[in-house]
Amino acid sequence: MHDPGLSADSFLCNLPLTIEEFETMEEEMKFHPIISILVPFFCNLAFGQEGLSELASVRLSYENLSERAIDGANAEIGSDQWEIRAPFFYKESGDWKIAAGVRYQSTRLEVSDANLIDEDRLHSLDLAIFLSKSQSDSLDWLFLFNPNLAGDFENLGGEAMNYLTLAGAKWKTSDRFQWIFGAVYTTGIGDDLFVPAIGFIWEPSEVSTFVFAGPILRYSYAFSDTITLNLGGQFTGNRWNTEAIYGGNLEERNFRFRSYRLSANLEWSLDEHHSVFAGFGYEISGELEIESTTLTSDREVEDGGIFELGYRYGF
């Protein structure tokens, strides 16, 4: 699954390539040019310092989800996933700023009952385009467009494409506090979703930041110039369009697996450009949804753990 991220399903950090404070981009990127799409980009560009450092970097990570039971199906699901995020464009012109990045995920899926999903390798590709206009020293307008292509990448149709659009504003009330207002529109399985969004960024000290945005919680604390602790809570997951043989017939199935993740990780900066990180988490309120012409299923998934490690190269 993914981190905070960019996919349309994880619009509140996994909303993809899950935006953490765009204005600092000027200082860190010049070109020092989200992603946590994920997954992050909105959280990484609008919601704080740590996200900007991710935007100005190439990030490679691996995560493993423990196997967990699917309610009422006598089956289990688990996965491991490789992910890479990278920026490829940043430009500033007057009061306007534009940034863009990509994220690719390769997920090895383990489902013990092939009658539910007969797939072992799924893919996801995100593009995030972010615009910002500075209205004044305290007010910025924000816009994010995030198309996502996810599936088995063998037979791609219209159902494999989803997108997220976000528009909002960032209002700075002091050097340590900012409000975020906006609205999100996202497509996917079932009805399209439009929701208002509100949150804030608070810096209790020079070495700590707290972000609250609905279901998103994030706290970071720098023990030193090289060691940083990150704590968080957010929805994570993805949706894929797949095609396989079921009951002797070729069938297209839309498949979504999501949950709410509580996580902690430590990041160690090796030098100015290189850093490594490792962490663990626990996922709750898991849900597995399958939609096709012959099957419509929405099942709960038991809670389970996750482990992540990775490397980042900062520009």
pLDDT for position 206: 93
| pTM confidence score | 0.82
Work out the number of other CB atoms within 10 angstroms of the CB of residue 27. Answer: 9
* Sign of the CA dihedral running 187, 35, 227, 223: negative
Considering only CA atoms, which of 47, 52, 39, 30 is closest in space to residue 8? Answer: 39
pLDDT for position 184: 84
Section 136-154 average pLDDT:
91
Token pair recorded at residue 31 = 């070109």
pLDDT: is 275 or 157 the higher one? 275
Confidence bin at 25 (pLDDT 50/70/90): very low
Token pair recorded at residue 48 = 């704080």
Considering only CA atoms, which of 125, 103, 121, 98 is closest in space to residue 111? Answer: 121
Q: What angle do CA 263, 264, 269 make, to 5 degrees?
A: 135
- Contact by Cβ (8 Å): 164, 8: yes
Q: Find tokens 């940034």 and name the residue.
A: 99
Percentage of the chain surpassing pLDDT 90? 49
- Residue 135's Cα: distance from chain center in Å? 28
- The domains of the chain are located at 8-314
| pLDDT single digits (tens) 304-313 | 999 999 999 9
Confidence bin at 39 (pLDDT 50/70/90): very low
pLDDT for position 102: 92
Confidence bin at 11 (pLDDT 50/70/90): very low
pLDDT for position 117: 87
Asked whether the predicted pLDDT for residue 156 surpasses 70, the reply is yes
Helices (H) and strands (E) in the chain, counts: 3, 15
- Contact by Cβ (8 Å): 50, 39: no
pLDDT for position 31: 25
Confidence bin at 10 (pLDDT 50/70/90): very low
- Distance between CA atoms of residues 279 and 310, nearest Å: 9
Instruction: Determine which helix (DSSP H) or strand (DSSP E) holds 31, and give its type and residue range.
Output: none
pLDDT for position 278: 98
| pLDDT single digits (tens) 213-256 | 877 899 999 999 999 999 999 888 888 989 889 988 898 888 88
Out of 2.60.120, 3.40.1620, 2.60.40, 2.40.160, select the CATH number for domain 8-314. Answer: 2.40.160
pLDDT for position 271: 93
pLDDT for position 159: 79
Work out the number of other CB atoms within 10 angstroms of the CB of residue 225. Answer: 8
What integer best gives the mean pLDDT of the chain?
81
| pLDDT single digits (tens) 69-95 | 999 888 999 999 999 999 888 888 999
